[in-house]
Amino acid sequence: MGVQYKTRDEIELMRESAQLVSKTLGLIAKEVKPGVTALQLDKLAEEFIRDNKAIPGFLGLYDFPNTLCTSVNEQVVHGIPTNKPLLEGDIISVDCGVVKNGFYGDHAYTFAVGEVSEEVKKLLKVTKESLYLGIAEMVKGKRMGDLSFAIQNHAEKNGYGVVRELVGHGLGRKMHEAPNVPNYGKRGRGPIFKDGLVLAVEPMINMGTRRITQLNDGWTIITSDKKPSAHFEHDIAIVDGKPDILSTFSYVEEALAEVNALIV
Ligand code: MG
Ligand code: MG
């Protein structure tokens, strides 16, 4: 199917879906600490989404078994929540989807578990920066390659590997719609951006090699050199020629600020 451009009304419904994911990630942010398991986070997320009259978007999608994808350290994406307690110094990428009013929200944040090394902090910072640099290119008349290049350039400038096999995507009544949103590419190439386009932009950036492999569970993607990987994702519409970020990290950031204030 071709690109499904959304009306203003549809974009407002998609904002609701995206914001519910944002709030879910905010809830998760308060709970990520050493000793907690990804399965506990998963249960919290599922309850919260259902309490908000929505459906977990990943549960059962392509037969995925849970509400969250939780990817720890060298796991890039699509990790399945387990009973293994998180350890101080780990990172965990939490990707969450919902369906509300028939539209998907899909966004992700990589959390530090307790205190992480300076080099891991930098990986998280640069990956998040690359997401926003990509989003800034979502301007009417620009092309996908401009977005892709912006992400790749920032990550590689910092010596990181950009995952190529997995990409962002169009988002709407389906979780994965056209077009693909690669995190690498050349300026001036690819589909032209127009009003009504809604994308899930999601750089997956590795500290070392860009190469990845899949675990035997049929889901979990890991880095080939077992170095850590980060993943941040937003849902964005083009409105009046400019990017309108439908999701937000503000709930996560508020929660993390509270947690840090308690520690200090
Ligand atoms: Mg996602
Ligand atoms: Mg996605």
Quick: pLDDT tens for 130-170. Answer: 999 999 999 999 999 999 999 999 999 999 999 999 999 99
Quote the pLDDT of residue 37: 98
The pTM for the full model equals: 0.97
Please give the distance, rounded to the nearest whole angstrom, from the Cα atom of residue 202 to the centre of ligand 2. 6
CB count in 10 Å sphere of residue 62? 9
103-112 and 75-77 as β-strands: parallel, antiparallel, unpaired? unpaired
In the chain, pLDDT over 90 holds for what percent of residues?
Answer: 97
Q: What's the burial of 225, exposed, middle or buried (CB within 10 Å: 0-12/13-18/19+)?
A: middle
Quote the pLDDT of residue 259: 84
Please give the distance, rounded to the nearest whole angstrom, from the Cα atom of residue 168 to the centre of ligand 2. 5
Which of the ligands is closest to the CA of residue 175? 2
Please give the distance, rounded to the nearest whole angstrom, from the Cα atom of residue 128 to the centre of ligand 1. 14
Which of the ligands is closest to the CA of residue 64? 1
Please give the distance, rounded to the nearest whole angstrom, from the Cα atom of residue 32 to the centre of ligand 1. 18
* Distances, alpha carbon 12 to alpha carbons 5, 58, 135, 190, 226, in Å: 13, 22, 19, 27, 40
* Distances, alpha carbon 174 to alpha carbons 46, 48, 233, in Å: 20, 22, 17
CB 147 within 8 A of CB 138: yes
Please give the distance, rounded to the nearest whole angstrom, from the Cα atom of residue 108 to the centre of ligand 2. 8
- Say yes or no to pLDDT of 53 above 90: yes
Please give the distance, rounded to the nearest whole angstrom, from the Cα atom of residue 114 to the centre of ligand 2. 26
Q: How confident is the model at residue 88 (pLDDT cuts 50, 70, 90)?
A: very high
Residue-range domains of the chain with CATH: 8-263 (3.90.230.10)
Tell me 129's DSSP state: H
Average pLDDT over residues 98-124: 98
Sign of CA dihedral 69, 72, 73, 74: negative
Please give the distance, rounded to the nearest whole angstrom, from the Cα atom of residue 169 to the centre of ligand 2. 6
Please give the distance, rounded to the nearest whole angstrom, from the Cα atom of residue 221 to the centre of ligand 2. 14
Q: How confident is the model at residue 118 (pLDDT cuts 50, 70, 90)?
A: very high
- Say yes or no to pLDDT of 262 above 80: no
Q: How confident is the model at residue 1 (pLDDT cuts 50, 70, 90)?
A: confident
In the chain, pLDDT over 70 holds for what percent of residues?
Answer: 99
Quote the pLDDT of residue 98: 98
CB 147 within 8 A of CB 236: no
Which H or E element spans position 177?
strand 177-181
Quote the pLDDT of residue 67: 98
Average pLDDT over residues 96-123: 98
Please give the distance, rounded to the nearest whole angstrom, from the Cα atom of residue 263 to the centre of ligand 2. 33
Rounded-to-integer distance, Cα 15 and Cα 183, Å: 23
Tell me the per-residue pLDDT of 30-47, one tens digit each, with 9 for 90 and over.
999 999 999 999 999 999
Please give the distance, rounded to the nearest whole angstrom, from the Cα atom of residue 204 to the centre of ligand 2. 11
Please give the distance, rounded to the nearest whole angstrom, from the Cα atom of residue 228 to the centre of ligand 1. 18
Write out the DSSP string of 44-91: HHHHHHHHTT-EESSTTGGG--SSEEEEETTEEE-PPP-SPBP-TT-E
Tell me the per-residue pLDDT of 195-207, one tens digit each, with 9 for 90 and over.
999 999 999 999 9
Please give the distance, rounded to the nearest whole angstrom, from the Cα atom of residue 111 to the centre of ligand 1. 15
Token reading at 138:
């979502």
* Residue ranges near ligand 2 (ion) with Cβ within 5 Å: 106, 200
Quote the pLDDT of residue 264: 59
Q: What is the largest CA-CA distance in the chain?
A: 52
Token reading at 106:
């899909």
| 3-state secondary structure (DSSP) of residue 167 | coil
Please give the distance, rounded to the nearest whole angstrom, from the Cα atom of residue 201 to the centre of ligand 2. 7
The span from the first CA to the last CA of the chain, in angstroms, equals 52
Average pLDDT over residues 53-71: 97
Quote the pLDDT of residue 260: 82
Rounded-to-integer distance, Cα 176 and Cα 168, Å: 9
Sign of CA dihedral 203, 208, 210, 212: negative
Which H or E element spans position 38?
helix 38-51
Tell me the per-residue pLDDT of 69-86, one tens digit each, with 9 for 90 and over.
999 999 999 999 999 999
